[in-house]
Structure 1
């Protein structure tokens, strides 16, 4: 495996982030609707500020909640044993928490929660517009993925966060 240009990748370092997605995490990269390599994705982003980089939800389930609920959830997780849960913000509208693949389905029944999973699910990644990592999915010390919690491990804190803000409409 070739080393990523800079470790850990910074959000604004497009090349290092794309290399980390592909090489360290093993995620397929999709620009708009085309499966590409990290190098091609980087070139596409340089050519177009509107290019959208995404991946399938094959390696994880993506749990999306309204921003306020997500911010509260991340604080609750940080107070417990789950302080390094990969999460990203979609502007100030939504927070997406990554859990182990196939474990998020039990969270779908909660009001205001959307779960994407499997090869048909998609997650839009930074450096796409209005996307940033709150907690990246890789270790800050070594070129390796962070362990993902199960959906069950975040269920209780998620229920508490949802209660704090009422039952919001689905994102």
Structure 2
């Protein structure tokens, strides 16, 4: 048996449902602007945790605490996926982790931000939309 083949079946979940989070989906261009702004703020405010997100070819999906994404639903160009809606996860052609929702050095989930904390950044990114 090759050392690269697992002797145990491996299950890779590529869809997520009822994960205890909300997904804030924005167009890719505006999503990249928002991520750049969030990462810049994290450099100057080391207390701020990075916001987990997925990159797709047409959108960026920011992950926030369950039940808090709906406060962003009124922003033009934003779609909120909650609860029973399916969110595509890596490794699929639909999604790649930008920042995963876990800590890289310890086996713990990352703390997700509340949706309201993203409002100023998303408003700014979406206002530049042409």
TM-score, scaled to structure 1: 0.64
Name the Cα RMSD after superposition.
1.9
8 Å CA contact retained: 2:88, 2:94: no
Deviation at 1:57, TM superposition (A): 4.1
2: distance between equivalents of 1:83 and 1:157?
A: 15
Unpaired runs of 5+ in structure 1?
1-14, 16-37, 43-51, 167-171
SS where residue 80 of structure 1 aligns? helix
2: distance between equivalents of 1:135 and 1:109?
A: 25
1: distance between equivalents of 2:94 and 2:81?
A: 19
Matched, 1:97 2:62: yes
- Per-residue CA deviation, residues 74-106 of structure 1 (Å, 9 max, x unaligned), is 011112244510001112x10000001100101
Matched, 1:149 2:113: yes
More strand by share: 1
Q: Considering Cα pairs closer than 8 Å and 6+ residues apart, tell me whether 1 or 2 has the greater RCO.
A: 2
SS where residue 17 of structure 2 aligns? strand
TM-score, scaled to structure 2: 0.83
**Number of equivalenced pairs:** 118
Unpaired runs of 5+ in structure 2?
1-5, 43-47
2: distance between equivalents of 1:107 and 1:70?
A: 14
**Structure 1 ranges of 4+ moved more than 6 A:** none
